[in-house]
Amino acid sequence: MFEGSFLGDGAKLADTDKLECGICWSVYDPAEGDEHWGIPPGTPFSRLPEHWRCPTCDAPQHKFMVLKDD
């Protein structure tokens, strides 16, 4: 398990939280959405469809970690 992992509990995520793939380090930014999967800007990570995976390496959602604001 990684530090910052949300472990699939979307209730712990703010709508604006950015998450980073623990495999390839790609970042999901809700403000940008995900063009590859047809996810519109403004879609929080917690509201991504179950079939959504990392657009870069195909990792499942539970491999993503919350990026903390410094």
Give dist(CA 10, CA 62) in Å, integer: 10
Strands (E) located in 1-70: 19-21, 27-28, 64-66
DSSP-assigned beta bridge partners for residue 24: none
Tell me the pLDDT tens digit for each residue of 16-60.
Answer: 999 999 999 999 999 999 999 999 999 999 999 999 999 999 999
Q: What is the CATH number of the domain that holds 26?
A: 2.20.28.10
pLDDT recorded at residue 68: 78
* Residue numbers of the domain that contains 27: 1-70
pTM over 0.85: no
pLDDT recorded at residue 4: 52
Q: With beta carbons less than 8 A apart as the criterion, state whether 33 and 41 touch.
A: yes
Domain count, the chain: 1
Give dist(CA 27, CA 21) in Å, integer: 6
pLDDT at 1 over 50: no
Residue holding tokens 């179950």? Answer: 50
